[in-house]
Amino acid sequence: MTDDTTRRARVLPRVVAGPARRPIASSAWREVEPDALAPVVLVAGGFLTMPGSYDGLAASLRERGAADVLVAPVYVPDWMLAAARGLGPITTRVGRALLEAGARSAESPTSRGAPVLYVGHSAGGLIGRLLTSPIPFEGRTLNAAGRIGALVTLGTPNAAGPAGHDGARWRRRVGEAGARFAERHIPGATFAPTTAYVSVASRLLVGRLGTVNGRERFVRRLYEDVYPQPDVDAVAGDGLIPVTAALLPGSRQVVLPDAVHGPSSRAAWYGAGANLDAWWPVALDAWRQALRARLATGPTPSPGM
């Protein structure tokens, strides 16, 4: 077994307790009141992160009632290659993790085959939106909205910014094409109410134009790289993604006061402590409301992929 295969096995271990459990029918969740169900969660990380960066978030979600939590096996080299090859290969890899999460849901007596609750941090949230597209993205037809009960984005650059703006190098080469594709083909909460959407932002740091404060000027430049707002003096965000870009139109929106952008053991980020407790109940309620919407509309079409 290669080192890469070994790492992936640690990220996506298959749960086996005693004799092999027969999968539950994918529609079995329809026989249970949604409030009695617990979701299998798929976490997709952000640009230049490793799966291990989300171990704390995964443990915390299990403590808060998730039936199971998987972290998509996307590594720093994958993101670096994306700068040249685009987001297609990463989208395919996260799509495979989504299939695995669906299989876990079918094995779980508390999830009973219910659609997955997807949590995407930063670029991982954009990947989740791309997975739902019925229009091929970079030659890949995914159309996986039927597999996702709720799509949660944490500090995700959901808006691409005005056409022609000169964004940061990584933003142009990694995220820009994906964000514009999403805006064109799957804008806002396209698949609501049968797929719920929750977007989470933070107003931790304010960036300003024309200030003598060096930090505020620097933060404003970072925000301008993502989503220029030249006519606005003060722009709030999480230190990398401004609130304006992170909030997806049509979604349930949560704006935190003090979440830093990236996973950190030394600071309060989106996936820890009070910040997690602010959006997780919203996500769980949105997921259950989406299940109710599916019950009301009858059998769903093929989930794609």
Q: Is pLDDT of 165 > 90? A: no
Q: What is the pLDDT of residue 241?
A: 94
Confidence band (pLDDT; 50, 70, 90) for 18?
very low
Task: State which H helix or E strand residue 252 sits in.
Answer: strand 252-256
pLDDT digits (tens, 9 = 90+) for 243-285: 999 999 999 999 999 999 999 766 799 999 999 999 999 999 9
pLDDT at 125: 97
End-to-end CA distance of the chain: 27
Which range (6-15, 40-49, 146-155) has the least confidence?
A: 6-15
pLDDT given at position 83: 80
Burial of 149 (0-12, 13-18, 19+ CB in 10 A): buried
Q: What is the pLDDT of residue 231?
A: 83
Each domain of the chain, given as residue ranges in start order, spans 33-201+242-297
CA separation for the pair 285, 276 (Å, rounded) = 14
pLDDT, position 25: 56
List of residues 6+ apart from 120 with CB closer than 8 A: 43, 44, 126, 127, 128, 151, 152, 153, 154, 156
Look up residue 18 and give its two tokens: 């005693």
3-state SS, 119-175, equals EEECHHHHHHHHHCCCCCECCECCCCHHHEEEEEEECCCCCCCCCCCCCCHHHHHHH
Task: State the pLDDT at residue 128.
Answer: 98
Closest CA to 13 of 109, 95, 100: 100
**Which of 168-172, 181-185, 270-274, 292-296 comes out lowest in average pLDDT?**
168-172
Which DSSP letter does residue 113 get?
Answer: T
Q: Using only C-alpha atoms, what is the Rg of the chain?
A: 19
Residue 198: what pLDDT?
98
Note the pLDDT tens digit of each residue in 102-140.
999 999 999 999 999 999 999 999 999 999 999 999 989
Question: What size, in residues, is the chain?
Answer: 305
* Mean pLDDT over each residue of the chain, to the nearest integer: 87
> b/e map of 35-69 (b: 16 or more CB within 10 Å)?
eebbbbbbbbbbbbbbbebbebbbebbeeeebbbb
Report the candidate in 115, 97, 269 with the shortest Cα–Cα distance to residue 193.
Answer: 115
Model's pTM, two decimal places?
Answer: 0.89
Which residues contact residue 5 at a Cβ distance below 8 angstroms, ignoring those fewer than 6 apart? none
**Per-residue confidence (pLDDT) for residue 229, from 0 to 100:** 84
| Angle made by CA atoms 228, 160, 115, in degrees to the nearest 5 | 140
DSSP conformational letter for 102: H
Would you call 69 helix, strand, or coil by DSSP?
strand
Which residue intervals of the chain are DSSP H helices? 3-11, 55-63, 76-85, 88-107, 123-131, 169-170, 177-185, 214-226, 243-246, 273-297
How far, in Å, are 47, 86, 137, 235, 236 from residue 170 at the CA level? 9, 11, 19, 21, 21
**What is the CATH code of the structural domain delimited by 33-201+242-297?**
3.40.50.1820
User: What does the alpha-carbon distance between residue 270 and residue 115 come to, in Å, rounded to a whole number?
Assistant: 23
